[in-house]
């Protein structure tokens, strides 16, 4: 079993920054993929970024150059640094982890960007 707890969401003005954290507990290791999805009101959940075995990262085109994903293996925590935030980044952000082909999700954290 894997548990994921997100934190760091909030309300910020356009152009501002936020850092999300996702703390993992249970049977998870540095080789397991972890990342973020988001879901805006009335829209489908969409991929934001992930970090895979070896530390390689992937980003959605919409956040490239603005968001940075990183991982602290000692703390089993993944971070999403979000800079130059836009109104369209407003969404609930969900952390996820893939362990033995099973996907686990956090409860989500709200990010609201005012224009």
pLDDT digits (tens, 9 = 90+) for 18-68: 999 999 998 888 889 999 999 999 999 999 999 998 889 999 999 999 999
pLDDT digits (tens, 9 = 90+) for 67-103: 999 999 999 999 999 999 999 999 999 999 999 989 9
SS3 18: strand
SS3 83: coil
- Report the residue count for the chain: 115
* Tokens of residue 55, six digits: 């530390």
Rounded Cα gap, residues 14 and 91, in angstroms: 14
- Banded model confidence at residue 13, pLDDT cuts 50, 70, 90: very high
Rounded Cα gap, residues 74 and 30, in angstroms: 9
């Amino acid at each position: 079993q894997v548990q994921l707890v997100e934190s760091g969401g909030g309300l910020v003005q356009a152009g501002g920054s936020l850092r999300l954290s996702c703390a993992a507990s249970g049977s998870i290791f540095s080789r397991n993929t972890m990342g973020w999805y988001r879901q805006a009101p009335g829209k489908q959940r969409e991929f934001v970024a992930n970090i895979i075995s070896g530390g390689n990262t992937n980003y959605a085109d919409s956040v490239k150059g603005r968001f940075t994903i990183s991982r602290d293996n000692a703390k089993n925590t993944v971070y999403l640094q979000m800079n130059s935030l836009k109104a369209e980044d407003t969404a609930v952000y969900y952390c996820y982890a893939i362990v033995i082909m099973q996907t686990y999700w956090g409860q989500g954290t709200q990010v609201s960007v005012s224009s």
